[in-house]
Structure 1
Amino acid sequence: MNLTAKQAIFSANIYTLKVEYSDSTAIGLIKQGSQKAFERLFKDHFKSLHAYAYTFLKDDEMAEEIVQNVFCRIWEKRDQLKTDGSIKAYLYRSVHNESLNYLKHQKVRANFGVYYADEMEQVGNDDSASKKLLTAELQKHIEKALSELPEQCRIIFQLSRFEQLKYQQIADHMGLSIKTIENQMGKALRVMRQKLAEFLPIILLLFINWFV
C-alpha cells in the first residue's frame, strides 16, 4: 500500500472518530442496538451528568450510580426510547428525576426509621410476645410497599401515619381538597393492606392506627 493510500485511510478514520451524530441519528442507532452509539453517548455526557447529580445528592459515589442507572435503563429499554426533544435535555431530565426519587425514598426510610425506633422502644417495654415479632423483615416489607405507592398517595400516607397530621393539615400543606386527601388515603390503605396482608395481624398490634 502506497503512502497516499495510507494517508487516505488515516484521514477517513480520523473523520469517523470526529463525526458527531445528530440526536435523531444517535437515538435511531441506539434503538437498533448500536453499542458504539450508546458508548459514545455515555462518554460524551457522563462527566457533566455526574456533576449535575452531585448537586442534588452531595455524594460522589451515589451520583455516579444514579447516572449509571439512567444509562442502564436507556439501554435495557432502548426499543422504547423517546426523547421528545434533544437527547441532552432528556438525559438531564432523567438524572434529575432519578436523583429526586432517590432523595424521596431516603426521606421515607428516615421517617420510617424514627417511627420504627419509637415503636420498638415501646415493644421493649411491653411484655406482649406478639409485639416482639416485629423484625427487620417486616420493616423491609413496609418500606417496599411504601415505595410502590403512587407518589401522591405515599406522601399523604406518610404525613398522616408517620407525622400524625390531620387531613385538613395535609390538605393545606399540599394545596389539595380534603376530599382528595380522603380519596388518596383510601387508595393508599387499600394498597398497603394488600401488599402487607401476610403481616397485617402484627401491624395492627404495633401500628394500631395505620389501617383505621
Structure 2
Amino acid sequence: MMHHLKKIEIDSSKSWLRFLEGDRDALGSLFRLYFSELLAYGRKFIPPDDLVKDHIQNLFVRLWEKRSQLRPVDNVKVYLLISLKHDLLQSLKAEKPKKELIEKMDAGWFEISVEDFMVEKEQEAELAQKVASCLAQLTARQREVIYLRFYHNFDFPNIAEIMDMNIQSVRNLLFRTLEKIRKEVGGSDIQQSGNIELILLSLFGHSSSFIY
C-alpha cells in the first residue's frame, strides 16, 4: 500500500514538472488522477457536486494560465487540496456574513457519513453507522483531521499544512479526537475500542499501515 502511494506521489511530481514546462497533457493527467479526491474533499465544504466541479475546473484553468509563476511542490495532491480549499472558502466568505459562516462551520461543516466508508459485510455496516453517528458529534476540525488522516492517509506535516496548524497541534487534535471516538464507539467492547485507528483505516478502505 505504501509503495503504491509513494509511486503515485513520484509520478505526480514528474507530471507537475512537465506541466510547469508547458505540457498541457501532464496537467490533464493530474486532473484525471486527483479529480475524484478533490471532488470528495470539496463537497465537505460545498455539498452541490456541480458547484465543486466548477471550482475544480476553474482551479486547473488558473494553474495553466499562471504556470510561469508556479514552482515545484513537495506534494502535488496536498497543493491541490489546499488550493481548492482556499477557493471554496473564499467563495463562501463572499456569499455569507462572517457570523453565518462561523455558525455553518460549527454546525454541519465537513460531514462524514456512512457513504464515505467502504462497507462489505453486515457487521461492518452496523459499525460504520455507529462511527458515523459519533463523527457527527465532533467539531468540523475534528472531522477534518480524521478525514485527512484516515481517508487520504496523510502524514502529520501534510495535515498541518492543509489545516494551517503546526504539527504538534495536529497530533494533539488527532489524539483527543481518537480518544473521544474510542469512548463513544468502543462501549464495552474493549478490543474494538482499543483498535479504533485500524477500524477507521478499514472503513475508509485502507490497509493497517500509515505514513508517519
TM-score by length of 1: 0.40
Greater per-residue helix proportion: 1
Q: Which structure has the higher relative contact order (CA within 8 Å, separation 6+)?
A: 2
TM-score by length of 2: 0.40
Larger radius of gyration: 1
